[in-house]
A = this chain, B = another copy of it.
Amino acid sequence: MTVELTGIIPPLTTPLTAEADVDTASLERLCAFLLDGGVDGLFVCGSSGEVALLSDAQRAKVIGVAAATASGQVPVLAGVIDTGTARVIDHARAAVKAGAGAVVATPPFYVAPNADEVVRHYRLLADAVDAPVVAYDIPSATHSPLSRAVVERLAHDRIVVALKDSSGDLDGFRAHLSATADTGLRVFTGSETMTDIALQLGAHGAVPGLANVDPHGYVRIRRAADAGDWAAAAAEQERLRRIFAIIDVADRNRIGFTAGALGAFKAAQHLRGVIDTPRCADPLLPLESSEIDAVRAILEREGVLD
């Protein structure tokens, strides 16, 4: 039951067909594209995977495809994101059955739990499922932030093996690293734009959504970090920061943040020939063609597209 969690672990988008089914062939190509890029793991059914918009059957299919394609080369992590403990446990059992090597869970949401209830949630999950549990802090989605005290308790009691921190709070991230240094907790940033800094601060890795588009760039950051070459890491990061501007090309008066960001990732994957169709799951609206042109222009400018 041990899984080595380290390095660049992209949170995969979920390629869909025009009819909104899981596009198995595209998903296999995406896995291969990322593995070819040198990533250290695959994280499916995360926020970038539109997990909240997928049915249970779709979730299981995605995990199965990723596990089969990875075939043990790198660990496959699966999001088991839902509002409450019973539901999360159901997802976790299904994920393990489908081939996941670790499960990634947010705190409960919709129900405004307090700290003790959040710890209890993770403890019940860890007890119920035969796989390591990763805590996932993404308050922009859950509105249930993981406090420093909760992270410390989860780490010290060995309830979770890792943290994915998508809070955007780099000061808190540094605090987590200090407070859990002696626990073995693996601490990952979810930031696309501060991966170099996170690694310099001691992070064990990163789970950047933009690695769906440019895995090679993030792998270069990791390698520069391994070599202690922070200037090279920063230069690569700056390039990726410029590419990350693709998430802002969509008109936010027309479509929401999720549709804008994931639509841009999928448009870029489509432009790179990795996936067949850039559509997102219902009810998200698609990017318009002028917006896709803007994505293309950024990718061309930064050398991602020829």
The count of chain A contact residues (Cβ–Cβ below 8 Å) is 64
A62 near B: Cβ within 8 Å? no
Residues of the B chain whose Cβ atoms lie less than 8 Å from the Cβ of A120: 282-283, 285
**Contact yes or no, B174 A256, CB < 8 A:** no
Residues of the B chain whose Cβ atoms lie less than 8 Å from the Cβ of A169: 168
A184 near B: Cβ within 8 Å? no
A26 near B: Cβ within 8 Å? no
> Which of A20, A84, A169 lies at the interface centre, i.e. has the most chain B CB atoms within 10 A of its CB?
A84
A1 to chain B, nearest CB (A): 23
Instruction: Determine the distance from Cα of A282 to Cα of B170 in the docked complex, in whole angstroms.
Output: 31
A254 near B: Cβ within 8 Å? yes
User: Of B85, B112, B241, B281, which one neighbours A86 at CB under 8 angstroms?
Assistant: B281
A162 near B: Cβ within 8 Å? no
Q: Specify the chain B residue showing the minimal Cβ separation from A117.
A: B283
Residues of the B chain whose Cβ atoms lie less than 8 Å from the Cβ of A197: 170, 197, 200-201
**Contact yes or no, A282 B86, CB < 8 A:** yes
**Contact yes or no, B112 A283, CB < 8 A:** no
**Contact yes or no, A255 B116, CB < 8 A:** yes
| Stretch among A137-145, A151-159, A218-226, A291-299 lining the B interface | A137-145
**Contact yes or no, A200 B230, CB < 8 A:** yes
Residues of the B chain whose Cβ atoms lie less than 8 Å from the Cβ of A175: 241
**Contact yes or no, B191 A118, CB < 8 A:** no
**Contact yes or no, B252 A52, CB < 8 A:** no
A35 near B: Cβ within 8 Å? no
Q: Which residues of A contact B (CB under 8 A)?
A: 20, 47, 50, 52-56, 58, 81-87, 90, 108-114, 116-118, 120-121, 124, 140-143, 168-171, 174-175, 178, 191, 193-194, 197, 200-201, 230, 234, 238, 241, 252-259, 281-285
Given known contacts A56-B90, A86-B282, what 5 new A-B pairs fall within 8 Å (CB)? A81-B110, A114-B255, A116-B285, A168-B169, A201-B234
* 26 pairs, A vs B, C-beta closer than 8 Å: A52-B84, A52-B87, A52-B109, A52-B110, A52-B111, A53-B83, A53-B84, A54-B87, A55-B87, A84-B283, A85-B282, A108-B283, A109-B110, A111-B141, A111-B256, A112-B258, A114-B256, A116-B255, A117-B256, A117-B259, A120-B282, A121-B282, A124-B282, A170-B194, A171-B194, A178-B238
